[in-house]
Amino acid sequence: MAELPKRYDPNSVEPKWYQRWIDDRDFVADPRSSKPPFSIVMPPPNITGVLTLGHVLNNTIQDILARHARMQGFEVLWLPGTDHAGIGTQTAVEKHLRR
């Protein structure tokens, strides 16, 4: 049995899989598909740009739901969204304009 390396090297593993996903069009939802649609809008980071464990948890749950729906035969679209924190953005822009 092959011995596992002591440290994970993503550069030796991930490019191959990412390219396969690109080639298989795993990141593309077909709007003309006969499969039932399933979509989730992924909210972007807040205006602060600081990611928290809440972001990690939210994206993990969304990833699980999207993969599960795909395995159940849905045409899945996991779409990066637009600003979901409009008040925070407005406050930051107004503060910047006052300078």
pTM strictly above 0.75: no
pLDDT of residue 23: 96
CA dist 39 and 80 (Å) reads: 11
**pLDDT over threshold 90, residue 11:** yes
pLDDT of residue 80: 82
pLDDT (tens digit per residue) in 38-66: 999 887 777 677 778 888 899 999 999 99
Under a CB-based contact definition with an 8 Å cutoff, are residues 66 and 29 in contact? no
pLDDT of residue 60: 94
**pLDDT over threshold 90, residue 71:** yes
Q: What are the extents of the domains in the chain?
A: 36-98
